[in-house]
């Protein structure tokens, strides 16, 4: 009798193991069957030095929702926006201008989180749009010893993209107000226009490079977008101002290795709302959205060095920063600038 009971017990354990293994395999199979999603990146973040940071951000999202996420790199802002609008991508990291453009076309595209400082407050979630020129041209942009936007007239100007917040919408707003013209009139140059020539760098790095090589007399770019390649000789990275001087690092990555030590002086600097990580909620469940919000605002994510790295690293954000939840309405000031509100 004892042998029979023992045999039955062993059989029960074996069958339990089989069924448990079956359930595990079924669970893994279901995970594999979930449709993979795409994270599309702007040109600014598509460069090789940000590969580790891109991978770390994607890993946070992938683990949170239990789905594979592949990446798509781009060379044009419009490609990334179209991918999100057409549901070919579920995630991206847009500037405020790109986000409001995308949301206007597809209401399911919403901000997930935005980076801010150690306080976690949206009041401190800002960066700077800067206008700069080669330091030897400094006096060309002054009137009575002060920097003056009137001096931009008939200069060769470089924007980033007309979908860029800090590389077009914000600088075009202050320039158009100064010359009493519509921002769209700044998209082209020539006789009778504000600028003699207008060019687009395609990324903040590209616009900055146009200035460094003398292709453009002056150009727009943002402080956090070129931070990896420069040092502030004078002034403060976190609070740049007209007259601050920045210099290309001697060991900067390509293409800036072609212009080591070249110095640029800032003609203007304007605060801008930080760029949101965005999602297309048509491609996500409500549970997945909640899981993403929890994951990105966790202390564990804040400690990932590939995302929040030490000064001088290729991490997207600085050590001590963190993500904060943000709502669509927070970007209404960008809509006002672009005429969407």
Residue 214: pLDDT over 80: yes
Cα distance between residue 224 and residue 193, in whole Å: 30
Sign of the Cα torsion 112, 118, 122, 126 reads negative
Q: Please name every residue paired with 198 in a beta bridge, in sequence order, or none if there are none.
A: 157
- Other Cβ atoms less than 10 A from the Cβ of 112: the count is 22
Sign of the Cα torsion 303, 58, 112, 99 reads positive
Closest residue by Cα to residue 98 from 114, 87, 82: 82
Query: How does pLDDT run across 268-311, given as a tens digit for each residue?
Result: 999 999 999 999 999 999 999 999 999 999 999 999 999 999 98
Cα distance between residue 44 and residue 128, in whole Å: 15
Domains of the chain: 35-124+274-338 (3.40.190.10), 128-273 (3.40.190)
**Are residues 170 and 128 in contact, defined by beta-carbon separation less than 8 angstroms?**
no
Query: How does pLDDT run across 25-72, given as a tens digit for each residue?
Result: 444 444 456 899 999 999 999 999 999 999 999 999 999 999 999 999
**What is residue 341's predicted lDDT score, i.e. its pLDDT?**
78
More confident residue, 51 or 16: 51
């Amino acid at each position: 009798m004892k042998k029979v009971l023992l045999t039955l017990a062993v059989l029960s354990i074996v069958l339990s193991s089989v069924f448990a293994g079956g359930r595990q395999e079924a669970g893994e199979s279901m995970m594999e069957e979930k449709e993979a999603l795409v994270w599309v990146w702007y040109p600014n973040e598509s460069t090789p030095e940000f590969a580790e940071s891109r991978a770390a951000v994607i890993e946070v999202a992938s683990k949170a929702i239990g789905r594979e996420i592949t990446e798509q790199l781009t060379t044009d802002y419009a490609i990334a926006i179209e991918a999100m609008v057409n549901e070919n991508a579920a995630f991206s990291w847009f500037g405020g201008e790109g986000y409001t453009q995308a949301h206007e076309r597809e209401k399911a595209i919403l901000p997930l989180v935005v980076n801010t400082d150690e306080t976690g407050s949206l009041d401190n979630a800002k960066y700077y749009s800067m206008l700069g020129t080669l330091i030897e041209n400094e006096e060309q942009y002054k009137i009575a010893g002060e920097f003056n936007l009137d001096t931009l007239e008939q200069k060769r100007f470089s924007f980033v993209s007309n979908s860029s917040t800090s590389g077009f919408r914000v600088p075009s707003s202050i320039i158009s107000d100064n010359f009493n013209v519509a921002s769209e009139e700044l998209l082209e140059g020539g006789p009778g226009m504000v600028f003699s020539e207008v060019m687009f760098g395609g990324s903040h790095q590209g616009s900055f490079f146009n200035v460094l090589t003398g292709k453009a007399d002056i150009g727009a770019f943002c402080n956090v977008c070129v931070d990896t390649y420069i040092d502030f000789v004078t002034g403060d990275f976190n609070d740049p101002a007209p007259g601050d001087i920045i210099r290309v690092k001697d060991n900067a990555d390509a293409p800036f290795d072609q212009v080591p030590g070249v110095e640029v002086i800032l003609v203007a600097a304007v605060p801008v709302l930080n760029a949101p990580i965005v999602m297309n909620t048509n491609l996500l469940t409500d549970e997945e959205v909640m899981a993403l919000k929890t994951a990105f605002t966790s202390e564990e994510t804040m400690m990932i060095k590939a995302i929040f790295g030490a000064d001088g690293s290729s991490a997207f954000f600085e050590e001590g920063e963190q993500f904060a939840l943000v709502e669509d309405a927070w970007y209404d000031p960008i809509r006002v600038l672009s005429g969407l509100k």
